Structure 1
Amino acid sequence: MSHSGAELRIRFIPGKVQLVQEEALVQGPRVLVTGATGLLGRAVYKEFQNNGWVVVGTGYRRARPRLLRCDLTDEDAVRELLHEYKPDVIVHCAAERRPDIVERHTEAAINLNVHATSVLAKEAAACSALFLYISTDYVFDGRNPPYGEDDAPSPLNVYGRSKLEGERETLRHCPGAVVLRVPILFGEVESVSESAVTSLWLKVRDTSESCALDHCQQRFPTHTRDVAVVCRKLCERARQDPSINGIFHFSANEQMTKYEMGIAMAQAFRLSSAHLSPLTEQSALTAALRPMNSRLNCSRLEMLNLNVHSLPFTSVVDCLWPFTDDKRWRQTVFH
């Protein structure tokens, strides 16, 4: 299994978790992926596993076979996990990333986005593991894009503030850590509601009702597969070169409003878009304010030759094909 990745068997003992490494599979660096049941975490887990890393992933409510159930807000559980597993690298994908949910359930979101991050960063430093923290373009207010890594953050909502505080806790407790800011994400989803991008599909396919989609806020939809590749490249380079630390930006380059994403989806699946219309005034229906244009400057990654060239939106939105009525679309439209 030298190139397909190695796995850990997880043995559950009353009051304890034991990670059992098969002797034949002891090879490659060890990576712990938090939030491995989530949209990005699944892609990161798969990317490392497919490139010869020994991988263990954590989940909580959606934990499943081959993943470890761990409440990241439980400090003792986190310490025990890292003591048992002794990872070389931790990729921290777990977060409450839905801005409107964060506004309504702030305490729980802060516990995960800030306090759990702080504990993980401390423990990563204690066990000399490289720590990679996933952050967001929402740390910026969107008034003066594009934003470089050194530009002053000014988040508009609680989600952005919580992720910014997570960045600060990361770099305070683990100075050699890597922070990777990314924009709105989409990819292989378990349900279309899992991503703010793919959730548009329900409105696109229902041609029986007219639907207005936001045409004000500029977004840069980025595929989780590309983010996962960047994570792996950053970790591989940082383990060789300690100067690879601090804040990095990664984003696809295609600028689109939600209305333009909806039109692109309709065109990709050869559906009518006549029922879609552009909403050119800011909606007051959301609980959290969003930046108008938080485009990220990714030059630091590019200078280090760690960037990934993203495919056009219409060529990767085929992640929606399982949610079409006619499953032949994947063969006839995209391949």
Structure 2
Amino acid sequence: MAQTIKERLAELTDRLENGIRELYDSNRYAEYLAAMSKFHHYSFGNALLILFQCPTASRVAGYTKWKKLGRQVKRHEKGIQILAPCPYKRQIDCEQKDPNTGQTLYGPDGKPLVETMFEPITRFKVATVFDISQTEGRELPNIGVSELTGEVEHFTEIFDRLTELSPLPIEMEDFPGAAKGYASFQEQRIVIRPGMSQMQTIKTLVHEIAHAKLHDPAHLSPEERKQRREKEVEAESVAYVVCQHFGLDTSEYSFGYIAGWSRGRELTELKASLDCIHSTAGEIINAIQPSEPLYELAEKMQNPKQHQVNHKEKRSRK
């Protein structure tokens, strides 16, 4: 190829950054943010409760909140239980203190002066929320396509090579929720939803392999572990770069996915992760393309005119 892998990776990550920046400036992104602002940001404890009860949950809200968003919880759906804070103020009587000395103040009758104060107290109650997959109704504003379509040349060979590369075994299995796949370090496997297009399957598989390579808590110190939003930005960025390298355009899907997870942070997470995105994408690309047919596929996608010329030369020699 005319370009080295390193040059190609730099070109693709630049394209990724520019595409997301353009999306930030669009009206679609403003509409998306307005809708997303209606979702609560949950504490670490509640995030764990949601994860344990519904591992594939992506957007959760209460019954009433979903109605305001134009969606209805489906019949017979089992809610996700979390702890909702219930702050209130408790009335207490306190002895008055001298602000300078801190000593108790006394009245003419020799008794301590008393003042009424209100002490803030937080109690918790069990509240029920539902994931978007448990609802139906009006579509929420989106900033990209929700599904990739199309076939992939050399699909079986690419899939097999990704399976060999993966740190976790790959299993095709249906599961509840709207996610297309997940990497579970607890279950020690990657699960991919069957029945998707070849393009969506390859993109999802690369995304989950990136998680498995970058985010295994067993291989990271507490300081190295990242928040979920950073993990998703890294995994989807790797998937975008790898797929683009082989001529599989996931721009509309990946740009929206990354921008959705980065909302409020602009491009800071993406830029902070560029080194690991480069190295992980490069490793996956090198694992996929050693054979001549796949190498020619990548070269054909990147230099279609030159490929046509070479093809004609080969035919003329016959």
TM-score, normalized by length of structure 2? 0.25
TM-score, normalized by length of structure 1? 0.24
- Larger helix fraction of residues: 2
